[in-house]
Amino acid sequence: MMKEEPEKAPIKVAVFSSKKWVLDSFSEVNKDFNFELSYFESRMYEKTVPLAKGFDAICVFVNDSLQAPVIEMLKENGVKLIALRCAGFNNVDVKKAYEKGIGVVRVPAYSPYAVAEHTLGLILSLNRKFHKAYSRVRDGNFALDGLLGFDLNEKTVGVIGTGKIGQIFINLVKGFNCKVLAYDKFPNKKLEEDGLEYVGLQELYANSDVISLHCPLNHETYHIINDYAISSMKDNVMIVNTSRGKLIDSVAVINGLKSGKVGYLGLDVYEEEEKLFFEDLSETVIQDDQFVRLQTFPNVLITSHQAFFTREAVNNIAQTTFSNIKEYLETGKSENELINA
Ligand code: NAD
């Protein structure tokens, strides 16, 4: 008689920072994977690590904080894998994780179009003030004063970071007949051959009407937009950040807005967003004075880290995250491991 294979225990995954959209998309995609999923609304940080006990993998997002002490505790709790359901990994001490024998996987690209298109949306809204026009017209105020914009046609757009998102964004603004100046620590030869003009940062600052950030956050890019950078820019410049909050020194940009040097600011990310974004704080007194100050400017438009948030991206996030977890836990490696990043 054939011996029956013992049934494999399901892979247990704890999903942190879970909101309704995470639960909906992950549960749907899990029909193909059959993981044992537990959803936790809270962020992963020192206080919430005990929740990870007994799970094979934890799944985390942009505002979970996995520095060395958290990694140590994950190891003690038996976690084998950290699965980031995002591209950026500045919030994880990857070196420490590997020292402890914990793998780290991510979703390197889920929809660069989503982020590039949202960036363009911020630019158009800041310029043509759709958000103000919408409320005005609903209030029966049909006056145009205060809504004056400018033609994007022939303006110069400076793009810092010409990776997946930066390249799509460049194509979008080229469609508006903008001139593009690009800066990247590792310029892309192919793009250069195709006519993209790479310049130094100072030249980009001095000549751009709009500056858009598409580089990762690391020790070199932390506060890349600081007092000095802003002082090198054109008067009335538009700065847009859909990459990571800490690329911009908030105090410097507030000073730039107060002096009028910065004419427009579009943010989808903010330095201290962990304490704010993704939560409904409408009944709460916000304690972050810098954030509140930013909101008082008429020429600042902030969205709460939603640039990625399209149907296509959310589905890709769930699919790739689960494939990464399955591949890593079954084979001990994954093509989306950060060791390969
Ligand atoms: P990518 O890795 O494809 O491109 C990043 C580019 O930045 C690369 O060309 C790289 O050479 C360049 N770069 C690296 N170090 C640099 C430096 N010191 N100075 C200038 N350029 C440098 O990444 P991507 O998919 O295009 O994503 C870009 C960033 O967008 C991510 O790091 C992430 O932080 C952010 N992002 C935000 C959202 C959102 O919802 N707001 C979603 C996804 C990604």
Residue 177: inside a domain: yes
Phi, psi at residue 97, to the nearest 5°?
-60, -45
**Mean pLDDT, residues 75-89 taken together:** 95
67 and 87 housed in the same domain: yes
Catalytically annotated residues: 244, 273, 305
Which atom of ligand 1 is nearest to 268's Cα? 41
**Based on the structure, what is the number of domains in the chain?**
2
* Model confidence band, residue 265 (pLDDT cutoffs 50, 70, 90): very high
Residue 7: inside a domain: no
Residue 1 has pLDDT above 70, yes or no: no
Residue closest by Cα to atom 35 of ligand 1: 243
169 and 274 housed in the same domain: yes
For the chain, the C-alpha Rg in angstroms (whole number) is: 22
HSE-up of 214 (CA within 13 Å, CB side)? 28
- C-beta separation of 158 from 181 below 8 A: yes
Residue 102: inside a domain: yes
Over residues 284-320, the pLDDT tens digits come to: 999 999 999 999 999 999 999 999 999 999 999 999 9
Choosing from 171, 184, 242 the residue with most ligand 1 atoms within 8 A of its CB, the one to mutate for a pocket test is: 184
Residue 340 has pLDDT above 70, yes or no: no
Choosing from 115, 183, 204, 278 the residue with most ligand 1 atoms within 8 A of its CB, the one to mutate for a pocket test is: 115
Give Cβ neighbours of residue 49 (< 8 Å, ≥ 6 apart).
70, 73, 74, 77
Residue 197 belongs to what domain range? Answer: 112-302
274 and 152 housed in the same domain: yes
* Model confidence band, residue 2 (pLDDT cutoffs 50, 70, 90): low
63 and 101 housed in the same domain: yes
146 and 205 housed in the same domain: yes
46 and 155 housed in the same domain: no
Residue 256: inside a domain: yes
Residue 339: inside a domain: no
91 and 161 housed in the same domain: no
Task: Return the CATH number at 217.
Answer: 3.40.50.720
**Mean pLDDT, residues 113-137 taken together:** 98
pLDDT value at residue 341: 64
Residue 242: inside a domain: yes
Concatenate the DSSP letters of all residues of 27-79 into one string: HHHGGGT--EEEE--SPPSGGGGGGGTT-SEEEE-TT--B-HHHHHHHHHTT-
pLDDT value at residue 339: 80
Residue closest by Cα to atom 9 of ligand 1: 163
180 and 102 housed in the same domain: no
Over residues 227-252, the pLDDT tens digits come to: 999 999 999 999 999 999 999 999 99
117 and 106 housed in the same domain: no
Choosing from 84, 215, 219, 226 the residue with most ligand 1 atoms within 8 A of its CB, the one to mutate for a pocket test is: 215
Bigger pLDDT: 5 vs 266 = 266
pLDDT value at residue 125: 98
Residue 101: inside a domain: yes
Bigger pLDDT: 5 vs 174 = 174
pLDDT value at residue 3: 66
Query: Which residues approach ligand 1 with their CB closer than 6 A?
Result: 87-88, 109, 112, 115, 160-166, 183-186, 214-217, 220-221, 242-244, 268-269, 305, 307-308
Over residues 128-151, the pLDDT tens digits come to: 999 999 999 999 999 999 999 999
For a pLDDT cut of 70, what percent of the chain falls above it? 98
145 and 277 housed in the same domain: yes
121 and 164 housed in the same domain: yes
103 and 87 housed in the same domain: yes
Overall residue count recorded for the chain in this entry: 341
Residue 1: inside a domain: no
